[in-house]
Amino acid sequence: MKKSIIFWLLLLITSIQAKEKSLYLYQVDPLEKVLKDRIYFQDQQDTLPVARGETASVQLVLKSNDEIKNVSASIATISNGKAQLQGQTGWIGYVRAGRKYESPSKDLLRSVSDFFPDPILTDTTVNLEQGEVEPLWITIPIPIDAEPGLYKGRVNLQGTIKRKKKKFEKEFYIRVYPVQVNKTSLLISNWSAHTSPQTLSALNNGENVPLFSSLYWDLVKVHATMMASHGQNVQRVFPVWMTTYTLNGNQYSFDFSNFDKEITLFEQAGPLDRIEGGHLAWRSGAWDEPYYVEVPVPATPANADLPKSPAPLDVVNNIRLVKLPLEDARTQNFLNQFLPALRAHLEEKGWLSKYMQHIGDEPVAKNAASYQAISSYVRKYLPGVKIIDAVLTSKELRNGIDVWVPILDVLHKDYSFYQELQKEGKKIWYYTCVGPRGNYANRFIELPLIQTRYLHWINYKYGLTGYLHWGLNFWSGQDILHQDASRDRGKLPAGDAYIVYPGYHKLYSSIRFETMRDGIYDYELLKMLEKKNSEKAKSLSNELILNFDDYDGSIAYFRKIRKELLECLSQQ
């Protein structure tokens, strides 16, 4: 009898060792970008602390000692013994960043292969070569009413090794704290290019998607759902582009149906706290040139040579959108009719109080005068509507903007100016874009994920009530996953132009987008603690954000501070 038991124990041990020799499974902090070049791991079986209402992210890493084909992953269970949580798995894909941007951050990640992890692919299996590593991302939305306590999760994996199916599993733990985030308050805008035929065709196997077709609206809904699920509560909608015009002599008629439909889709997807009215004016030529207003004019040969607007549609109802100076009689005739009609329509729909209006993007000192003139003109017809814009200059625009969105390094350089504006009651957001570079936090693919998360700790530390980025989905070409991400749209830093990836009638998130969402919830937890103990909230943010361009880069220390934040909020 004893020999039989020993035999079966030896067989079990041999079986376990065989499994370990084929595939090793590690838990790795989701703030770590796992490069394909990496060969050494420690299993970080840490319990992940989360609040109710946010989303937990778990990262597992597979390291193969054999060739393994068609590896799939699924969540077997996430339970505290009574209640269950639901989740989704996705394999992390890799994109190439072959050209390094200048000036680089001191924290820039280096990859021998130039490949970096980013997209999360939720509808595929993977093949692993011998010695290859592959990260698995697990997303677990925590319900508002989730029971606090420790939850044990298990992931099942299956793959084929030497024509035989093999199964593996890995456990992980989540602690849900008795802290509840019902709604986020940080205003977040990621500009979407869903009005671009090129962008939409990337979601349609390269086939054209006619603007305002039923498929067009289906794909807008796909965008709205993805954006709302990642904390975006502000949407940019172009009133001039999304309006259909008829012109009888000098008299305009306006059809706002498409404008209304787009806003309604985003309202249905999630909280829409602000509507950004897309820009009314564009540079007339080079970067320093004055702004011209976008104006609908008859599509006649006499108007054929006027500078075209960047609108996605050329001619509708024999009307073409062009750029004209504010002083032009045609410009003033249009604005005098359009702006009052837009305001009345917003009021009728109940949107006026949340509507903000862009004038022109990123004004600089040399074209500030034209910006100011258009802003003053618009204010006459949109009383009470806040003017908002991303800016690359400060004092030259003093009287032209209500909601200021300086780029992070301009905010740093002119911080005393923005502190004065805050004292006057002005709202200050900030943005990142092609820059700032150097040691400033950003969303670039080659930066550590902790810097993407710190974007919204910066919001908290400096009292900045919103964040804007221009590049949700400005893809170039169709096969985005296999392009060099650093050679997209004019040599931008890799990842600057997009933070989601196209699939067929769907979008894939990225580890950067997931991390950005988690930072939005960090901000909300800090605001909650501020109401309870403002000095403690300030102290915790100061531990991690040392200055506009100086941060504590330790993931372990960040986790310590974040856990302390939850524990402070849990105390009676």
Give tens-digit pLDDT for 359-402.
Answer: 999 999 999 999 999 999 999 999 999 999 999 999 999 999 99
Residue 548 has pLDDT above 50, yes or no: yes
Q: Of 557, 567, 505, give the one whose Cα is nearest residue 536.
A: 567
Same domain, yes or no: 207 and 74 = no
Look at 416 and 6; give whichever has higher pLDDT. 416
Residue 414 has pLDDT above 80, yes or no: yes
Same domain, yes or no: 62 and 206 = no
Residue 476 has pLDDT above 60, yes or no: yes
Q: Report pTM.
A: 0.94
Same domain, yes or no: 96 and 121 = yes
HSE-CB at 40 with a 13 A cutoff on CA atoms is 0
Same domain, yes or no: 174 and 290 = no
CATH number of 166's domain:
2.60.40.10
CA angle in degrees (0–180, nearest 5) for 266-268-274 = 45
Q: What is the mean pLDDT of residues 132-150?
A: 97
- Identify the burial level of 287 via C-beta atoms within 10 angstroms of its C-beta, where 0-12 means exposed, 13-18 middle and 19 or more buried: exposed
Asked if the structure places residue 548 within a domain, the reply is yes
Residue 9 has pLDDT above 50, yes or no: no
CATH number of 534's domain:
3.20.20
Q: What is the mean pLDDT of residues 481-504?
A: 86
Task: Calculate the average pLDDT of the chain.
Answer: 94
Where among 154, 180, 206 does a domain terminate?
A: 180
Domain that holds residue 171: 21-180
Q: pLDDT-derived band of residue 490, with 50, 70 and 90 as boundaries?
A: low
Q: pLDDT-derived band of residue 212, with 50, 70 and 90 as boundaries?
A: very high
CA angle in degrees (0–180, nearest 5) for 144-146-151 = 140
Instruction: Give Rg (Cα) of the chain.
Output: 26
Q: Specify the pLDDT at position 18.
A: 41
d(CA 212, CA 257): 10
Q: Specify the pLDDT at position 46.
A: 86
Asked if the structure places residue 12 within a domain, the reply is no
Residue 2 has pLDDT above 60, yes or no: no
**Digit-coded pLDDT (tens) for 96-129:** 998 888 899 999 999 999 999 999 999 999 999 9
**Digit-coded pLDDT (tens) for 30-58:** 999 999 999 899 998 889 999 999 999 99
